[in-house]
Structure 1
Amino acid sequence: MTEDITIRMAQSDDAESLARIYQYYVEHTAITFEYEAPNAAEMNARREKILAHYPYLVAEKDGRVLGYAYAHEFYGRAAYGWSVESSIYVDKDARKLGIGRRLYDALEAALRKMGILNINACIAVPRTDDDPYLTNGSVAFHKRLGYEMVGTFHQSGYKFGRWYDVAWMEKILGEHPEKPAPVKDFDRF
């Protein structure tokens, strides 16, 4: 199971693994709307940018990175400071082992320490039940973790010669006081 999985902060030498995991989703699924898989250098640059303020975590077993999750700024306006958008990718051969839940549990714990109150997830949604590139698995996964559906943008992404809807889901991490404390940067561990 997942007892022997280590969750830790992503490091620069994880870049090849991050690129390997993400490449599958770019090239074979509509889970991400990128058309070209970024190389390890680009993945490392993205990791560094996110880690300047937010958590970027990996799940590792026996020295192999099996998945990653991170949160980043939500729309870049001061009033959104207590909200983030999350992303998660698990190695295609390590899905359904509880790694995603472990990553998100650790991500949420880190975000709570920062003072983040809302996590938002942007999820591609198939328009038919028989789509070869996308299922409703991501929506079901987020529902199991306590996320609620907020809304759907119709035919917002085009990939593999077809249109996809985009669902937004949210999870409230804490109370929303009248005067919230400032959000702290991620404390690297």
Structure 2
Amino acid sequence: MTTIRVATEADAEEILAIYAKYIEQTAITFEYVVPSIEEFRGRIRHTLERFPYLAAEKDGKIAGYAYVSPFKERAAYDWSVETSIYVDMEQKRSGIGRRLYEELENILKQQGILNVNACIAYPQAEDEYLTKDSVLFHEKLGYTMVGTFHQCGYKFHRWYDMVWMEKFIGEHRENQPDIIPFPKLKLEK
């Protein structure tokens, strides 16, 4: 059985082991160098200061994770976030990604977040480093295509496009209430 829970800095090593494969073997992330454990712990800590960082645990091992970061740092963008999700390559197509995103959206709605945006590496032609699977996954979850940046990411001696997808998860109002930082949220189930 898979459980979804809030990640902690103690999870950094297991989470980084999942992410490292994406860095080294795919163009899904445009990061070139696997970060140190210390840097990765800092990334988790920094995210949790404002937003959720979730881990999917299956059979006592982390099988995937998802988190959000600010869409932009200016106050006018507070209600919009950028999503990130990585599932252990051996666990893909098992429903873990959907479960992570469902719980992430549940928490984000409680925070008052309205827009979730996904920045996705996109191949001009599918290859051994990148497919269109992430776009298809996001479409199944209700995201729509917003735009394409052409040949903006370079990895493995080739150029990749980057697309933005979005999904509205809340009501946009004239007098929008402030978001609730994740540490101050009393989670509802």
TM-score range, shorter chain: over 0.9
Aligned residue for 2:44?
Answer: 47
| Cα contact 1:15–1:40 (8 A) shared by 2 | yes
4+ residue stretches of structure 1 with deviation over 3 A?
Answer: none
Counterpart residue type for residue 140 of structure 1:
L
Task: State the Cα deviation string for residues 28-83 of structure 1 (Å, max 9, x = none).
Answer: 00000000011222111100000000000000012100000001111101100100
Post-superposition CA distance 1:87-145 (Å, at most 9, x none): 0000011111000000000000000000000000000000113x110000000000000
Q: Which residue of 2 aligns with 1:33?
A: 30
| Residue equivalent to 1:74 | 71
1:14 to 7, 11, 16: 11
Secondary structure (helix, strand or coil) at the match of 1:14 reads helix
Q: Which residue of 2 aligns with 1:134?
A: 130
TM-score w.r.t. the length of structure 1 is 0.96
Q: Tell me the residue number matched to 2:166.
A: 170
- Distance (whole Å) between structure 2 residues aligned to residue 114 and residue 50 of structure 1: 14
Provide the residue aligned with 1:152 in structure 2: 148
Alignment RMSD: 1.0
**Identical pairs, percent:** 56
- Structure 2: any 5+ residue segments left out of the alignment? none
The number of equivalent residue pairs is: 185
Q: Is the 8 A contact 1:56 1:69 kept in 2?
A: yes
User: Could you say what secondary structure the match of 1:170 adopts?
Assistant: strand
Unaligned runs of 5+ in 1: none
